[in-house]
Amino acid sequence: MKTIPPLCPEPETGPKYWRSLEQLADTPEFRAWAEREFPAGASELKDGATRRDFVKIMSASFLLAGLGAFGTGCRRPEEKIYPFSKLPEGYTHGVAQYFATSMPNRGSAIPLVVKSHEGRPTKIEGNAQHPDSNGATDTFAQASILNLYDPDRAQRFTRGGNTVARETALDFLAQSAGKFAENNGQGLRFLAERSSSPSRARLQAMLRQKYSQCQWAVYEPVTFDHHREASTLAFNQSVTPYYKLDQANVIVSLDFDFAGGEEDSTRLIRGWAAKRKIAKPTDSMNRLYAVETLMTLTGANADHRLRVAPSQVLAVAARLGAEIETLTGGSPGNKLVELGTAVKQHEKWITECAKDLVANKGKCLVVAGHRQPLAAHVIAHKINVALGNLGSTVLFHQAPKAYEISIAELAQDLKDGKVETLVILGGNPAYNAPADLDWAKLQGGAKSVIRLGYFEDETFQATKRANDWHLQQAHYLESWGDARTSDGTVVPVQPLIEPLFGGVTEIEVLARLAGLDTIKPHDIVRATFRTLSTADDFEASWKQFLHDGFLANSAHKSIAVNFNAEAANKAIEDTATAPAATKDKLEIIFHRDYSVDDGRYNNNGWLQELPDPISKMVWENVISISPQTAQDLNLVIKDNEDMNLQVPWVKIDLNGRSVEGPVWLSPGQADNTLGMALGYGRKETGRIGRNSGFDAYRLRTVAAPNFASGAKLNPPARTYQLSCTQNHWSMEGRPIIREANLQEYRDNPNFAKGMNMPEPPSNQPLYPNPLDELRKKPNVMHQWGMSIDLGSCVGCSACMVACQSENNIPIVGKEQVYRNREMHWIRIDRYFTGEKTDPQMINQPMMCLHCESAPCESVCPVNATVHDEEGLNVMVYNRCVGTRYCSNNCPYKVRRFNFFDYNRRPLDQLAGPFYPTPLTHTTDGKLDLLRWFKDPDRGNKPTDEWDLLKLVKNPEVTVRMRGVMEKCTYCVQRIEGAKITQKVKAGASGEVRLTETAHTIPKTACQQACPAEAIVFGDVSDPESAVSKLKSQQRNYTVLDFLATKPRTTYLARIRNPNPLMPDFKEFPFSSQEYTAKNGHHPADHGAPAAHPATEAKKGAH
């Protein structure tokens, strides 16, 4: 029977979800853009190469191909196999090995299990056995493996900028130790990064003992020390807070971006998400209030969000504190009331929020973020104390007393000429120290500088005087070390590979400088472990430690604290009210970047190409501004017909300093503020980070490191081209994301299905379902499917990097992203709804949904995309001829095409503007075409890139070439791997089914990385599997259900939990209101999916 495709319902009264301001404006340009198969530029060759060039290249290629056929094509090259001469113990070629280790970050660590193929680490996973981890990782941990193979990392020891032998450098450290021993470390200064390593702490103590005159400074450009400092102040003992979000029913974030901006986001997201997953309408869930300046991931997931300038967060805290005091029967101090007057216009918001907190005494939490002044933290503690949250939602751990000075004090010593030898351990102060210190010059105040660094960066450039030494740092996957996770559990850092370039670790340098006998990092860590382990059998305990990846029962014990009201009140008294920001006196907020952190991941291609979760910008940072302020300042941000993001390039002045950068509208940002991400605009970096973004550090000073007021935005001089994934693959405002408020969900649990479109006028799917036939086959055991919970997905993007790492997905560069050719298999669609000044934001991870009746399959002329009998929509690269019909016919736009040989593209060509012609371009002094002819595998990659970057590839996944379509495979290599393992185990028996009870079902890479556990994969033919249970929930719905594509991946609708008493309460989420406005009925009016009359009639006829 001929089937008529259903009409796609068009928005009648404007779009429902808008992904960008252009879409909200619904311009003709946008419509033209949205109706194309691929966005403009993606499918055309718009490069500088002319038709004539093209013919030239093609004819030359044919000539060479012809020659090749005569020369080599007739016989295959002889290949050699080089076996071991002596097999390493416990090694089987081809079987991956896993090692437990951890990635140290500032004050904590992420416990990891790292996969190693033939001695090279290839994939990072979280360690689910660790007592305070669910096996999740963040974007940085996932991407850190690429840093290991970074061809731009420091590869030599230098003195005065000239290469010296490793031994020479190490001898020098020993000599220095002798010298310091004589003068008690007179003039010796250390500048280190924050670390949780017990070994480093032990060595530091030994150094202090040996060299009584030495000083130790710690500097982090983005520091989370305020949490410890404020608790220490408020409780009169050295403690650090440990927040338990999973225990809190009400959470108030005072600029506390736990979903990505703070440390330990994986743990905090897990805690928050635990109370967002509701299985049935009667379940309760937590409520999140966010007070913030920028639109952050936390704000996007909040039930109530208050936009205020960064300096006003303290005022909100004060007002909230005063309300709580009043409500709990105390009397707020005058100062709190005085501070709170600045936010009088938000009085009702704060009062109702306070009432909600009081109603949840002991089960709520107020936290101030790392950018906020100590007073804001102290007020938050005061509230937590008043509400009895201590011991339930916030615990305190003993923090060792820090014997350290600040970078400003160190700078003073340098200025005063007190410093003989400055040892810089990691970090990059010449780039990221406060601008008023002028570090690059200041560093010259020391007679000699010894610097341990991972890159030859800005600080390396400042460390080139005759007496300056530069030591290359080993990657954590090459090092022995240790750390503590935030709960205090001791975790090992153990190497998976010998240092690729002979680098040294921080603790080794310290041990050598201390003149110790034990200088091998392994021995140092073992010696430290001896002091930590209480087991009788040390060897067994050490082995267990390395095997498990943590020391059991080594977590900090929570300690009882007493609130020191006097000190707290004093801290509050000492603060002054900040003046309100205006359009001529803007406030700048400097924030940690979701992609490159503080700049440490600037040369990491995966992170550079990871779209910012809010702005969806890649490869650079922008000056974000609220739409209202942009209008006030007469900034016009317009697009041309290609959705070409030409934005004003402006100069920002702040107290005599200035930076220049592109401005970008950020819906939901506080008015009269400017957001600037740190970590870009590097002067000295590798081939990836070069020319990306602007350097916001140039405005940061010692006095105002987090936010500063009084900035002026000058009228734009020119426009600038941005690359952004924001407008790509729009879904045209259909009910793709479904959400409801908790009350509405309780009243009408089937609201999500109520948004289904009428079914097509046929009970046959539009495309044949190959599984109908395949299901009849015996011995088909599994049917794979996935469920994604939009209620707990925060949009952190860890899944994107995990997928990139697992599936050998290339990076394409800024210029190719601008042409809409990014390759991510999983993307996170970000939608805004409502007014652009204060919108609601929603995330939706989107990848191949593995439709049973897949539209892509029926249009492929070469059967390169077909179904397998377990329900996977399989993509066969070796069959694909690149017609791109499949992508054209995919309603979800999840297929990715290799327009170029991205895996073989030299890194310095990523910036564009386009590929140089191989006829004239030379690499390493040789013509590209000849290089390619001699070694087609490697293409034109320079030797160092090729040798290193091929090591990161997963050998279980094909590396795709130019002209091939690709997309999410549900990690088919893991599924097949698990099936093979089970079959090998089964041998001559029938025990071949993978089951959840036996834990043999594999996890996909995205699922494994997800801290919220929002992605669940499994066997849908097993009704007891987790995924089947999720799919049977009432919140379950299918995206674009009316196409009857029957996707295997379905979504759980998002539930918001707003407080009805709040002034900004909306009975229905904006998206739901817009749905009603368009369709003329509310989801609640349809209890069950609407059935098309034609379908009904036909069913009746049977």
- DSSP code for 740: E
Among 532, 781, 911, 978, binds another protein (CB under 8 A): 781
Query: How many CB atoms within 10 Å of residue 1021?
Result: 16
Give whichever of 82 and 861 is closer to another protein, judged by the CB atom: 82
Give yes or no for residue 868 binding another protein (CB under 8 A). Answer: yes
As given in the structure block, the two tokens for residue 995 are 């089951």
Closer residue to another protein in complex, CB, 471/851: 851
Structure tokens at 953: 């590839």
Instruction: Single out the residue of 2, 10, 12, 84 in contact with another protein (rule: CB under 8 A).
Output: 84
CB 877 within 8 A of CB 1068: no
3-class secondary-structure state, position 481: strand
Measured CA to CA, the distance from residue 402 to residue 200 in angstroms comes to: 13
Q: Which is nearer to another protein, 28 or 987 (CB)?
A: 987
- Residue from 327, 874, 1026, 1077 binding another protein (CB under 8 A): 874
CB of 961 to another protein, least distance (A): 10
Piece of 525-533, 575-583, 834-842, 876-884 that binds another protein (CB under 8 A):
876-884
Q: Are strands 657-665 and 623-625 parallel, antiparallel or unpaired?
A: parallel
Based on the shown chain and the rule CB under 8 A, indicate whether residue 980 belongs to the binding site for another protein.
yes
Q: Kindly tell me which of 665 and 952 has the beta carbon lying closer to another protein.
A: 952
What torsion do the CA atoms of 949, 952, 957, 962 make, to the nearest 10 degrees? -20
Question: Least distance in Å: CB of 84 to another protein?
Answer: 4
> Of 58, 181, 986, 1091, which one interacts with another protein (CB under 8 A)?
986
- 351 vs 804, beta carbon nearer another protein: 804
Shortest Cβ 94–another protein spacing (Å): 4
Instruction: Give the shortest CB-871-to-another protein separation in angstroms.
Output: 11
Burial class (CB in 10 A: 0-12, 13-18, 19+), 346: buried
The reply on whether position 86 binds another protein by CB under 8 A is yes
Which positions from 279 to 298 touch another protein by CB under 8 A, shown as an x/- string?
--------------------
In this complex, which beta carbon is closest to another protein, that of residue 425 or of residue 975? Answer: 975
The token pair that represents 586 in the structure block = 């803007």
Give the one residue of 701, 958, 1034, 1073 binding another protein; rule: CB under 8 A. Answer: 958
CA proximity to 823, closest of 1002, 1015, 959: 959
Cβ proximity to another protein, 737 vs 975, nearer residue: 975
Of 12, 51, 82, 718, the one binding another protein (CB under 8 A) is: 82
Q: Which DSSP string corresponds to 589-619? A: EEE-BTTTBTTTTTT-HHHHTSPPTTT-B-S
229 phi, psi to nearest 5 deg: -60, -45
User: Which residue in 229, 653, 732, 869 binds another protein (CB under 8 A)?
Assistant: 869
Question: Considering only residues 828-867, where is the footprint of another protein by CB under 8 A?
Answer: 866
Q: Are the beta carbons of 889 and 874 closer than 8 angstroms?
A: no
Rounded Cα gap, residues 910 and 816, in angstroms: 8
Q: How many residues bind another protein (CB under 8 A)?
A: 47
Q: Is 76 in the site for another protein (CB under 8 A)?
A: yes
Three-state DSSP class for 558?
A: strand
Host H or E run for residue 58: helix 51-68
String of contacts with another protein for each residue 121-160, x by CB under 8 A: ----------------------------------------
Kindly indicate which of the ranges 25-33, 91-99, 165-173, 197-205 contains the residues binding another protein, using the contact rule CB under 8 A: 91-99
Rounded to a whole number of angstroms, the minimum distance from the CB of residue 989 to another protein is 6
From candidates 137, 301, 973, 1049, binder to another protein by CB under 8 A: 973
DSSP 3-state of 842: strand
CB of 874 to another protein, least distance (A): 5
The yes or no reply on residue 78 touching another protein (CB under 8 A) is: yes
With binding defined as CB under 8 A, does residue 80 bind another protein?
A: yes
Q: Considering just the CA atoms, what is the radius of gyration of the chain in Å?
A: 30
List the one residue out of 320, 312, 321, 313 whose CA is nearest residue 382.
Answer: 321
Q: How many residues does the chain have?
A: 1102
Task: Give least dist CB 879 to another protein, A.
Answer: 8
Q: Quick check: 7 binds another protein (CB under 8 A)?
A: no
Least separation in angstroms between residue 76's CB and another protein is 7
Residue 21: its H or E element: helix 21-25
CA 443 to CA 422: how far, in whole Å? 8
The H or E element containing residue 1051 is strand 1049-1052
Report the b/e string of 954-980 with b at 16+ CB within 10 A: bebbbbbbebbbbbbbbbbbbbeebbe
Rule CB under 8 A: say whether 92 interacts with another protein. yes
578 vs 404: CA distance, rounded Å: 30
Determine the interface stretch with another protein among 57-65, 172-180, 391-399, 980-988 (rule: CB under 8 A).
980-988
- Given 50, 534, 634, 989, the residue binding another protein (CB under 8 A): 989
- Alpha-carbon separation of residue 768 from 50, 63, 761, 772, 1046 (angstroms): 43, 45, 16, 9, 11
In this complex, which beta carbon is closest to another protein, that of residue 10 or of residue 84? 84
| Of the residues 1, 81, 466, 1088, which one makes contact with another protein according to CB under 8 A | 81
Residue with smaller CB distance to another protein, 326 or 958 = 958
Piece of the chain touching another protein by CB under 8 A; list 109-117, 642-650, 882-890, 989-997: 989-997
Least distance in Å: CB of 654 to another protein? Answer: 53
Q: How far apart are CA 255 and CA 293, in angstroms?
A: 7
97 makes contact with another protein (CB under 8 A) = no
Amino acid identity at 1019:
D
Does residue 988 interact with another protein by CB under 8 A?
yes
User: Considering the rule CB under 8 A, would residue 780 count as an interface residue with another protein?
Assistant: yes
Cα 644 from Cα 744, distance rounded (Å): 41
CA distances in angstroms from 486 to 197, 236, 554, 1028, listed in the order given: 12, 21, 12, 34
Characterise 254 by phi-psi region: left (phi > 0), alpha (psi -120 to 50), beta (else).
beta
CA distances from 680 to 197, 593, 777 (A): 28, 9, 56
Among the listed ranges 291-299, 471-479, 941-949, 983-991, the one in contact with another protein (CB under 8 A) is: 983-991
For another protein, give the closer residue by CB, 119 or 1087. Answer: 119
Least distance from C-beta 778 to another protein, angstroms? 8
Residue 872 touching another protein (CB under 8 A): yes
> Contact region for another protein (CB under 8 A) — 505-513, 957-965, 1023-1031, 1057-1065?
957-965
- CB neighbour list of residue 744: distance below 8 Å, 6 or more residues apart: 751, 1067, 1068, 1072, 1084
Q: Does the protein bind another protein through residue 70 (CB under 8 A)?
A: no
Q: Kindly state whether residue 976 participates in binding another protein, applying the rule CB under 8 A.
A: yes
Site for another protein in 1018-1077 (CB under 8 A): none
Q: What is the distance between the alpha carbons of residues 729 and 390, in angstroms, rounded to a whole number? A: 47
- Is position 192 an interface residue for another protein (rule: CB under 8 A)? no
984 counts as binding another protein under rule CB under 8 A: yes
The least distance separating another protein from the CB of residue 92, rounded to whole angstroms, comes to 4
Q: Which amino acid is at 186?
A: Q
What is the C-alpha to C-alpha distance for residues 323 and 312, in angstroms, rounded to an integer? 17
Smallest separation (angstroms) from another protein to the CB of 976: 7
Burial of 208 from C-beta contacts in 10 A (0-12 / 13-18 / 19+):
middle
The pairing of strands 1049-1052 and 784-789 is: parallel
Residues in the site for another protein, rule: CB under 8 A? 76, 78-87, 92-95, 779-781, 866, 868-870, 872, 874, 876-879, 956-959, 969, 972-973, 975-976, 980, 983-984, 986-990, 992-993
